[in-house]
Amino acid sequence: MDFTETAVIRIGAKQVDRQYHLAHIDCILGALASALLFGITWIYAAQPIIVALSAAPLVISICRWLLALIYNRSSPPSSAVRRWQTLFNIGALTNAIAWGAAASLIVLSGERSAGTLAASVTIIVSLSTVILYAGAAKTTAAFAILSLAPPAIVAAIQSTPSAFLICGVLIVCLIIAIGGSILVKRLVWDAVITTTENEQLVGHLDQRRTQVEKLNIALKTNADKREQAEITLRRTAADLGFVQGKARALADTLERVSPMCQVTGLSNRRNFDQQFESEWRRATRDKKPISLVIVEIDEYPEYLEAYGSQSSDGLLKRVGHTVKGFGRRAGDLAGRYEDGKLAIMLPGCDALDAVRIAEALRKRVESIKVVHAGAKNRDTVTIHLGVATIKPALSLPSTELQKRSDAALYEARFQGGNKVVVYKPLSKLKLERWDKVNDGPLSEQTMLQKLLVWGYDTAKSMLRNNEKPREHVSEHDTVIAALAGELLVNVEGHTMAIKGGDSIFVPRGVALLLQARGDNPVVIFIATKE
């Protein structure tokens, strides 16, 4: 059922209820008007037919009143509304016919006063019907036509001025009654439409309110569940933290008790650092070099993601066993450096031997042919290595060797892996050669003048070929210039040769070994800048 059908039904039911609930008013007015009409006919007409006909509206009003009483007491169902409306309409139309006939006969009698009064009473009854039964346009219009049209026609037939006046008044009242019934019906229709819309809106609002209440209940339920889940999660996190704390405590205990890494079988980091400090102090006393090789598996995070932690631990154990085989001398130590990194400490090993060992280790791991499906640039497991060698001095901390090895390891990783990179301390030294065009012929005087221009205080020295290497460590920036002969400069196990006219700039804190090469002595200038 659409909105229009609903409105029509509501208007019809309202009309019937209004007609029957206001029937007692209509009947009282009808009885009074009938009595007035009866008195008019009794006084002026004195004709039995007119007097009898004027009593008909009174009888019909009483019958309609009895019908209204029955309706109001029985409260019939909505299915019987149309039948009761038909009965009421028949009663109203019958009453209208009776009023019209009585008024017509009175006007026709020729009594001007009686006709005027009868027309006035009829007008009052018709207009009261329009007012009482608002919205019943058909019924009120029919009542007005049947009650007002006949006396108007009878008055129009008569040729007297008073009759024309009565006719005009009746016609005007008829038009007003019909127009008023239509207007009132429209007003009632708009009111019912508005009421229906409001009721529908109220119904929608009630539905939405119910939905909101259900949503609020659901949200509250979800909030309770979420709160319970958060409580459970916090408890689980607390339990997990407790377990992790116990696991860390156990791991620390095992690390303190055992110097070995449980995964690789090598020395753990704590023990490795302790042994490294001990060997560093020994090498400082003995003035011997010490080398450190750091090993890292190429693309180890990808291997861990592809194969899982157990396979990764197995790989570290296998590579660790291989690394351990390359540190067999007294004092050599292989250990777990970081997650995917291993290290070999080689006391008394110079740079050349350290690079040779690292290259042999790289080839050995590559020859194992362990499949690496997660790698991007290779099919098997490979390693890259960073090598650094230092002859310890009091001016150098032990962490310097680790920093240099890490720097070399980073360079090997940057170059694509599967490579050995050695840290070159000679890169710290700046070499300046003699320029004959700008500096002129090489001589002691021109060399001293050049060093003075640079802002250095100069001291002359000589090295002979049979002398032991002379150690030089300066607390200031230094320039070592060779005037004659060939000078070997050794920096932490790495050697470079300079000839006459060459100058090297040495930063402060760098330890050098100076030695003459060949049969001729070497004349040098050592210049410092404070």
* Inter-residue contact 527 to 490 (CB < 8 Å): no
13/73 Cα distance (integer angstroms): 16
Q: Residue 261: what pLDDT? A: 84
pLDDT, tens digit (0-9, with 9 covering 90-100), for 181-199: 667 667 666 666 777 777 7
Residue 366 pLDDT > 90: yes
* Close Cβ partners of 181 (under 8 Å, ≥ 6 residues apart): 130, 136, 137, 140, 141, 144
Residue 52 pLDDT > 80: no
Mean pLDDT estimate for the chain: 78
Q: What percent of the chain has pLDDT over 90?
A: 16
pTM over 0.85: no
pLDDT, tens digit (0-9, with 9 covering 90-100), for 316-328: 999 999 998 887 7
| 72-86, 185-199, 350-364, 442-456: range with highest mean pLDDT | 350-364
**Residue 97's pLDDT band (boundaries 50, 70, 90)?**
confident
Q: For residue 175, give the nearest of 144, 133, 135, 153 by alpha carbon.
A: 144
Residue 3 pLDDT > 50: no
**Residue 48's pLDDT band (boundaries 50, 70, 90)?**
low
Q: Residue 201: what pLDDT? A: 78
Task: Please tell me the least confidently modeled range out of 127-131, 148-152, 192-196.
Answer: 127-131
Show the 3-state SS of 235-267: HHHHHHHHHHHHHHHHHHHHHHHCCECCCCCCE
The more confidently predicted of residues 447 and 23 is 447
For residue 193, how many other CB atoms are within 10 A of its CB? 16
* Inter-residue contact 343 to 294 (CB < 8 Å): yes
Residue 380 pLDDT > 80: yes
* Inter-residue contact 494 to 424 (CB < 8 Å): yes
